[in-house]
Amino acid sequence: MRTLVILFIALFCCVQCFSGSEIEKKALVDEKEKIEPKLELCNEVMNKVKENIKYITFLDLCFAKYEFLELIESDSLFREAWKEKVKSIPIPGKDDFSINDQSINFFNEVFQSVSTNKYLEQIAFLKEYYPRVIGKNYLSKQDYGYITSIYPNTDRLAEVYLTILDLLVVDANSLLYEINKNPEAIKGFHEWLNSISEKGIKSYSIASYEMAMRKRDYIVSSLEKIDSPLAQEAKEVLKNAKIRVID
């Protein structure tokens, strides 16, 4: 009987040691994935970014983050094109609906938050060649309600459409707050949502379909965290919207 007890204790200790080593092994794997996450790079995204780096917006590049970093690592011509891009950021006209500064701030925050050791050199390069905010003639928060209120009754329909979409990326809380203060803005926002529900989300062909999907999913995820009926309505419409690529 004593022998059986000793054997049982020994077997129990072996099982515990095995389980402990498995837990430690899993913890190490989890920690490694935090440092170097599994990246699924998309060739379509990489090709679009490489081909259109001169024209693609800083905001859209946030949805091609790792493809963009891979190109910085592997392509010296791409690095030179990037240097030219950040040197020649246009100053918007005073009547433009520009959110360039908000987009640049968002871009810088996204890439400064990259923590994986795989891209240390690329992040160091970007720190030297980050785009700089202009601080002139950009759309203020107080204008968010106005720009939404004129949709779709404006001759700048495409510009207003895209500005509302991009504001949902960079400043959704402020956009919805300003809309809720203005009955005409609420009406315009509903018109905008109806357009998306009927025709899908417009994505210009210089960006890829995959990037537009990532952008949509980011907006949906952000809206889930905002406790307002308007945010939840927008979330449902965008979540079910198709992507429509246009030239």
| Spans of the chain below 50 pLDDT | 4-38
Nearest to 244 by CA among 206, 185, 195, 204: 204
Nearest to 203 by CA among 173, 235, 243: 243
pLDDT value at residue 235: 98
pLDDT value at residue 31: 36
User: Which pTM was predicted?
Assistant: 0.82
CA distance 189 to 163: 12
pLDDT value at residue 137: 67
Nearest to 98 by CA among 166, 192, 38: 166
What percentage of the chain reaches a pLDDT higher than 70?
Answer: 84
pLDDT value at residue 96: 82
pLDDT value at residue 136: 73
Residue spans of the domains in the chain: they are: 42-137, 139-247
pLDDT value at residue 116: 79
Mean pLDDT of the chain: 85
CA distance 74 to 37: 20
